[in-house]
Structure 1
Amino acid sequence: YQQMRQKGLTKPIIEEALEEYSEGTYERLYELVERKYLRYLDGEKGDIKVKNALVRLGYSYDIVKEVLADIKQEYGDE
């Protein structure tokens, strides 16, 4: 997003361009957490490590938080 802004693109144009990439993000992230990170969600320290790893992969903190809350609810970790 920032690189596009630096190139002079407006917010509506950027959002339109990125829209196709954001569709299905929740589902992809949910599947990734179930497949690869579920075993690490065993406490506050593990939760933080998983959140940080997912943000480093490029997912927004808000969607990571939402997915992890839903995973914990489904698997009874809360």
Structure 2
Amino acid sequence: MGTIWVVLIALAALIAGVALGFFIARKYMMSYLKKNPPINEQMLRTLMMQMGQKPSQKKINQMMRAMNNQMDK
């Protein structure tokens, strides 16, 4: 009877550890991406030029704002 309790406690601790680790890693990645966005204005400008568009500063600012709004959600 004692080994069943040990197994149940170990299983509960494992599930709690996995859940806690997931949420900590998620929070860390969200803050990391907020501080270090994966794309900046220069990358966006290069991408638009490769697609055959002439990027204006207004268009780049609009796209950066849209990406930042998407990250905040």
Work out whether the TM-score is over 0.5: no
Structure 1 length normalisation: TM-score?
0.31
